[in-house]
Structure 1
Amino acid sequence: MRKVILSMIAGAVFMVSCGPKSVAVTGPKYTASEQLTQGKTIFENSCSRCHKLPNPVKHDDQGWIKTLSRMAPKAKLSDEQHQMVYDYLISVNKK
């Protein structure tokens, strides 16, 4: 009986871990100055905890998608915060 219960728990944990992941940023969503300002604040506060802030013109829009997809989980950003940071970066990026 104990083995059956442990197997069921292990199976449930496995199924939850295979569930849908957070939605990736695929393009701009926010354009209001309030959200862009929030994106700038999140970028400055979250990213500078671990390293020097990169120049927004360092990457083009697609480059920021790749970079933020890798870094947002490390910074523990929510999907909405991730999107706001991306939108801020591309708003100041003229590439």
Structure 2
Amino acid sequence: MKKSIVITIFSAAFIVSCGPKSTAVTVPKFSSAENLAQGKTVFENSCNRCHKLPDPAKHDDQGWIKTLSRMAPKAKLTDEQHQMVYDYLISVNKK
């Protein structure tokens, strides 16, 4: 009985450790003008490679979380770049 509990705990820990390492964007982190400018640059340079740039007002904050969660891996953004783009977009959107 103890052996099966230990195996179950070990298996669960192993499965969790194999999960994705990136952190999800959920709230603004950067607010300095420099970081927002970097976010704008990453947004313009990375997103514009594959499609026309969307209007920041296209989505509310939650909509941008969903969109960026899907698109950031395709654009090969780092977690920090992902966060900066999100922070830039919500700083300029009107929703």
TM-score relative to the length of structure 1:
0.81
The equivalent of 1:3 in structure 2 is none
What is the Cα deviation at residue 94 of structure 1? 1.4
Matched residue, 2:57 = 57
**Unpaired stretches in structure 1, ≥5 consecutive residues:** 1-13
Range moving further from structure 2, 17-26 or 55-64: 17-26
CA offsets 1:26-64 (integer angstroms, 9 cap, x no match): 010000000000000000000000000000000000000
Structure 1 equivalent of residue 9 of structure 2: none
Alignment of 1:1-95 (within 5 A): 18-95=18-95
Percent identity over the alignment?
83
Kindly tell me the number of residue pairs found equivalent between the two proteins.
Answer: 82
TM-score (norm 2): 0.81
Indicate the SS of the match to 1:87: helix
Structure 1 segments (4+ residues) deviating >3 Å:
none
Structure 1 letter corresponding to 2:63: G
